[in-house]
Structure 1
Amino acid sequence: MEMHTGAAPAAPRNPGLKRDIGLIGLIWASEGSIIGSGWLFGALYAAQAAGTAALVSWAIGAVAIIILAFVHAELGAMYPVAGGTARFPHYAFGSAAGASFGWFSWLQAVTVAPIEVMASLNYLSVHAPWVQSGENQLTAAGYGLAVAFMAFFVVVNFFGIKWLAHTNSAATWWKVFVPVLTIIVLAATAFHGDNFGYQGFSPFGAQGVLSAISTSGIIFALLGFEQADQLAGESRNPARDIPRAVIGSIFIGALIYVALQVVFIGALPHSAFIHGWANLSFAGKAGPFAGLATAVGLGWLATLLYVDAVVSPSGTGLIYVTATSRVSYGLSRNGYVPAIFERTTKRGVPWFGMLFAFVVGLIVFLPFPTWQKLVGFVTSASVLMYAGGPLAFGCLRKQDPHRPRPYRLPGGTFWSPVAFIVSNLIIYWAGWDTLWRLGVAIVLGYLLLGGSALLKLNPKAPHADWKSAQWLPVYLLGLGVISWQGGFCSTGPASKASCGATDALPLWWDMVIIAVFSLAIYYWAQWVRLPDGATQEYIGSVEVVPGH
């Protein structure tokens, strides 16, 4: 994606984009992103947080993601540009908002590779206990192995990413096949129906059900729908196929994940419940599905799962190392970060952006030594990135009303503020101990963006458009304060005191406050949006380049 200083005539669609992708291709593109490392641990952590009611958590998570996805479906079909999650707020509110949501996009991308490494190491620790301590935290040797994984991702990206791209279809088939096979085999060989009634349906109440959505890998697992949106400019029939692909991919993914949750609970040995849901314990717990397979005498399935626990996360990690360097490259092309991020090798690889992402990825392991803690951060960064879509949606319906909309969301003026509320609830449920870390990362990002502008490290730095982004600092700070005063923690209700949340806001009233706060920010943002002419200039100055 590129932004040029001289405004050019707006072009609704780049003629170089060929509309060759059908419904199945769109669904498969999103499904490959939805089925990732989340399935390896989501069922265990959701059961620990919510008991049998984890099934409700998956249903709520799927509905929330569908609401967000439909808003992005209209925007993605209207503006088939790379990095749409950063571009949509830029069109509506200008460069300050665009740079901010671009940074949120980069934060989300840079943390995915470490989380995939953590997933692999968790499973590996069953056979190599020196990788992790008893609390599932990386040991010094485990951290060294994590560095080796990350270095491998970088090396492959430098030399072999073209080959990797060609294997994506086969990798998607593998990603879907292994969990489906696991569901069928466990359901047929080990299923204890009485497990579902243990300690009642919802042993930790509503707070356990809701916190599981953000902190147990549920939202993290369901993310990826935007791949269909990103291909909107190449869809044969976007008005018909984009909404079907979005809801179809989420429906298939949710069905697989709910079935995994059912067979996981059903396959647990009765001895696993000795210390209750929150402390489920069984042999091979570090690799939960492989451990269960071993316990019921399915050694061949356990072996397959241990192989998958390295292959599937590694494939995703490789892709996200690529994505991270491209996001920083795009941010530099837009003038937001230093021009050095545009430095590329002879093969066209943004080498500085890739090495920077490698270093940051290694730092990420330090404050998030476990898979579950990192999940909350990635979920919050992802949903914060997506939150810009609903805000831009309402504005662009007014600022750019005549642009062709291959897909128009029915009742869009109602659903866009609802989607913004949903985004903020998901972020809030992640817990204060996750959000303060996200806040630190955001502040560091603003120091980088501000330092780049003040020191003029990028000659293409655009006008900031602060007036149209005046709501943004209030939004970020306000969300943090509400989280601090709330009662959600990434490690569950029992850890409120240790995580720093004051628990001053009663359950349900806290969510009412989030909803009211969200609506206030939403309509404030609509009020101060860019003038229509400025929006048209920003839209017209973007060159959509196929393959970028």
Structure 2
Amino acid sequence: MNQEQYLKKKMGFWSLTALSLGGIIGSSWLFGPWNTAKLAGPIAIMSWIIAAFVIMLIALVYAELGRVKPEAGGLARYPLYSHGKLLGTVTSFSIWLGYCATAPVESSGVIQYANQFWPGLYDVTKEQLTTTGILASTILMVFFVVVNYFGVKLFSVTNTIITIIKFIVPLLTIIAFFMTGFHAENYTSHGVAPNGYGAGLSAILTSGIFFAYTGFGNVIMMGGEVVNPRRNIPLALITSLSFSAILYALLQIVFIGAVPPEMLANGWSGIKFDSPFANLALMANMVWLSWTITADAMISPTGSALAYTAGTSRHVFAMAKSGFLPSYFASINKRFGVPTRALTLNFLIGLLFLFPLKSWTAIVAIVGAIGIFKYASACVTVMVFRKVGLTKDNGIPGMTIIAPLAFTFATLLIYWTNWSRVQLAIWGLVIGLAGYLIVHFINKHKLIEIIGGIYLVIYILMLVGISSIGNFGGQEFIPEPFMSYIVAILGFIFYYFAVFNGIWYMRKKGNIQDIENTDVNKENSYEALGRTF
């Protein structure tokens, strides 16, 4: 019996937009502006704008993919279609790790703010959760699973309500700080870019900015449960990203202006907070706002984690159906219409992030570095689909420019990240690669499955090389901005090699017609896909 028929199509435009916004506006608004200001100073505003531009390009890529092949767990399946099992496995593994880390990220954010009411949950000196705090965070993660367990409809209603509520507080925060306690001199007193412009670029992946915007991916994950996906997916993505980009930029502006000038005696890197916006509100004698922000700190991360918990379970569902995980995890609970075994697995993996790392900042740094690779592969897949004739009339205007530009920027973001973070991300991909090779030889896959995704191996080697000799924790062989120019050119050229690699695979495989005819709305969809792969 095909399991996907039990996924219930309950999500329209508003629920889908709320899902995306729920993933984007989580704990990042509570911590991101502070972390970014510490790293970059006033130029932090540029970091949010650049990230929003890149993410919008990537979202348009996914919008087209969602129109061409709307599926539950689409992020995992698109690279499998275009480049085969090697790329599909590694991409799916990186997505999975990043998404599994999100629930502990958000729960740790809630507990950190809760430390104001129940001291002993968070150690300010060590900047990490205590043993009690970790236990409380674990209990909160259990709550995320329980809500999702009872189905898409309950999840949609719960998430929409939480999303509406939690947007009020950031808007109030922006208005209140603009009207009270805004110190315009903070923008010039220590220089616009006290740590250099490179710090603003590096902050995109390491301070929680990119992590915040990636919440849009939940829309793609839920593609198989969306009513009229060809219309609602692109509209929901564009609406949610546009709104959140403006909101985050304004939050960064008011944060920089809200810091008391005397706190900048040791520069922007010297500002210390445990609950950034709540602390600033108290300093500005806005006690009501401080309490409101603290209350919202309980809601915003919870809404985001609910969104990610739902999306990640669908990702595991798709991985299992594609043969990347045991078929045991492809089971759908017939009563509630959700992949409950996948929910449980993701909860356990999330604990592996929470227990050793113990803090919002530590987990976010890893998630940001790992996450960028999945978006680079999607930029390639969308053009491969066009070249082999799958897109037809579902294309988005300008994609021939959007996709290579997005891939190039994704490559630059990896390079701009500190070399130590890149190494961690690479290790994550290597583990996924090793996992596939084991599966490859056990299941006796054909060599074409490796050749089809060979560009990823070369891409990883290229990134290791340029990051190790670059200016963001590397050997600094070539000064900026010239090294960034070189990386951009290499990324742009490499993009077309990756597209060629995918076209070769799909034509050699000879399964283009089968993929085109595989419809997730039909009862035999996964049986057809199983014959394809």
TM-score, scaled relative to structure 1:
0.84
Instruction: Select which of 314, 322, 342 maps to 2:330.
Output: 342
Q: Per-residue deviation at 1:289?
A: 0.6
1:28 and 1:325 map into 2 onto residues whose CA distance is 18
SS in 2 for 1:286: coil
SS at match of 1:507: coil
- In the alignment, structure 1 segments of 5+ residues that lack a partner are 5-13, 489-495
Q: For the residues of structure 1 that align with 2:437 and 2:496, how far apart are their CA atoms?
A: 27
Once the 2 structures are TM-superposed, how far is the Cα of residue 288 of structure 1 from its aligned partner? 0.4
Q: Does 1:543 align with 2:520?
A: yes
2:279 match: 291
What CA distance in whole angstroms lies between the structure 1 residues aligned with 2:285 and 2:430?
51
Aligned residues of 1:3 and 1:333 also touching (Cα < 8 A): no
Gaps spanning 5+ residues in structure 2: where?
Answer: 527-533
Q: Is the 8 A contact 2:43 2:197 kept in 1?
A: no
Letter of the aligned partner of 1:440 in structure 2? W
Identify which of 37, 44, 51 aligns with 2:41. 51
Q: How far apart are 1:376 and its partner, in Å?
A: 2.6
The one-letter code of the counterpart of 1:256 is: L
Corresponding letter in the other structure for 1:423: A
Quote the offset at 1:34 in angstroms.
2.1
CA distance in 2, matches of 1:325, 1:63: 28
Distance of aligned partners of 1:65 and 1:322 in 2 relative to their CA distance in 1, 3 Å threshold: closer
Deviations 1:427-452 (A, max 9, x none): 22232222222222223333444444
User: Is 1:370 equivalent to 2:359 in the alignment?
Assistant: yes
Alignment partner of 1:467 out of 429, 444, 451 = 451
Residues 112-131 of structure 1: matches in 2 within 5 Å?
112-127=102-117, 128-131=119-122
What residue in structure 2 maps to residue 38 of structure 1? 28
Amino acid at match of 1:536: Q
Q: Could you tell me whether the CA contact under 8 Å between 2:222 and 2:311 is conserved in 1?
A: no
Q: Shift of the alpha carbon at 1:398?
A: 1.1
Which one of the candidate residues 96, 121, 128 is aligned to 1:106? 96
Query: Does the alignment pair 1:396 with 2:385?
Result: yes
The C-alpha deviation readout for 1:516-541, integer Å capped at 9, x for no partner, is: 33234322222232244323323434
Residue 481 (structure 1) aligned to one of 455, 465, 469: 465
In structure 2, which of residues 55, 59, 62 is the aligned counterpart of residue 69 of structure 1? 59
Q: Quick check: 2:73–2:223 contact (8 Å CA) kept in 1?
A: no
Q: Deviation digits for residues 437-474 of structure 1, max 9, x if unmatched?
A: 22222233334444445555xx9x89862222111111
Q: Secondary structure at the match of 2:266?
A: coil
Residue number among 177, 199, 209 corresponding to 2:200 in the alignment: 209
Deviations 1:209-230 (A, max 9, x none): 1112221222222223345666
Q: Distance in 2 between matches of 1:245 and 1:130?
A: 37
Give the Å deviation of 1:302. 1.5
Evaluate the alpha carbon distance shift between residue 302 and residue 206 of structure 1 in structure 2; reply closer, same or farther with a 3 A threshold: same
**Deviations, residues 71-95 of structure 1 (Å, cap 9, x unaligned):** 2222222222222222222222122
Determine the C-alpha separation between the residues in 2 that align with 1:402 and 1:160: 32
Deviations 1:385-435 (A, max 9, x none): 111111012211110256231x4222x222211110111222222322222
Letter of the 1:386 partner, please give it.
Y
8 A Cα contact 1:213 1:219, kept in partner:
yes
Asked if the contact 1:33/1:224 (under 8 Å) is kept, the reply is yes
Which deviations, in whole Å up to 9, do the C-alpha atoms of 1:268-317 show, x marking residues without a partner?
Answer: 11221121101113xxx111011111222222222222222122212322
SS at match of 1:404: helix
Would the aligned equivalents of 1:76 and 1:230 in 2 still touch at CA under 8 Å? no
Equivalents in 2 of 1:57, 1:447: separation in Å?
A: 34
Q: Greater shift after overlay, 128-137 or 114-123?
A: 128-137
Task: Work out the percentage of aligned pairs sharing the same amino acid.
Answer: 32
Say whether residues 1:187 and 2:178 are aligned partners. yes
Which of 416, 430, 434 is the aligned partner of 2:421?
A: 434
Secondary structure, in 3 states, of the residue corresponding to 2:488? helix
Asked whether 1:198 is paired with 2:195, we answer no
2:373 to 384, 399, 402: 384
Secondary structure in structure 2 of the residue aligned to 1:294: helix
* Matched position secondary structure for 1:304: helix
Separation in structure 1 between the aligned mates of residue 338 and residue 227 of structure 2, nearest angstrom: 28
Match of 1:424 among 411, 417, 423: 411
User: Where does 1:65-464 land on structure 2 (aligned, <5 Å)?
Assistant: 65-127=55-117, 128-158=119-149, 163-226=154-217, 238=230, 245-281=236-272, 285-343=273-331, 347=335, 350-365=339-354, 368-400=357-389, 403-405=392-394, 407-410=395-398, 412-455=399-442
Paired residues of 1:50 and 1:209 also in contact (CA < 8 A):
yes
Report the Cα distance in structure 2 between the residues aligned to 1:18 and 1:156, rounded to whole angstroms: 18
Distance, in Å, in 2 between the alignment partners of 1:214 and 1:483 is 14
Write the deviation string for residues 92-124 of structure 1: whole angstroms up to 9, x where unpaired. Answer: 212222222222221221111111022112222
- Amino acid in the other structure paired with 2:286: L
CA distance in 2, matches of 1:173, 1:434: 35
Alignment partner of 1:543: what SS?
Answer: coil
Q: Distance in 2 between matches of 1:319 and 1:246?
A: 14
Is the contact between residue 147 and residue 154 of structure 2 (CA under 8 Å) also seen in structure 1? Answer: no
Whole-angstrom distance in 1 between the partners of 2:184 and 2:93: 47
Distance in 1, matches of 2:345 and 2:441, equals 21
Distance 1:160 1:200 in 2: 51
* Aligned mates of 2:494, 2:3 — CA distance in 1: 28
Q: In the aligned structure 2, how far is the partner of 1:394 from the partner of 1:253?
A: 27
Structure 1 distance, partners of 2:307, 2:15, is 19
Partner AA of 2:83 in structure 1:
F
* TM-score, normalisation: structure 2: 0.86
Q: What is the rounded CA distance, in whole Å, between the counterparts of 1:391 and 1:277 in structure 2?
A: 39
Count of residue correspondences: 516
**CA shift for structure 1 position 46:** 1.2
Superposition RMSD on alpha carbons, in Å? 3.3
Q: Is the 8 A contact 1:95 1:463 kept in 2?
A: no
The structure-2 alpha-carbon separation of the partners of 1:324 and 1:452, relative to structure 1 and needing over 3 Å to count, comes to: farther
C-alpha distance in structure 2 between counterparts of 1:376 and 1:214, whole Å: 7
Structure 2: which amino acid aligns with 1:434? R
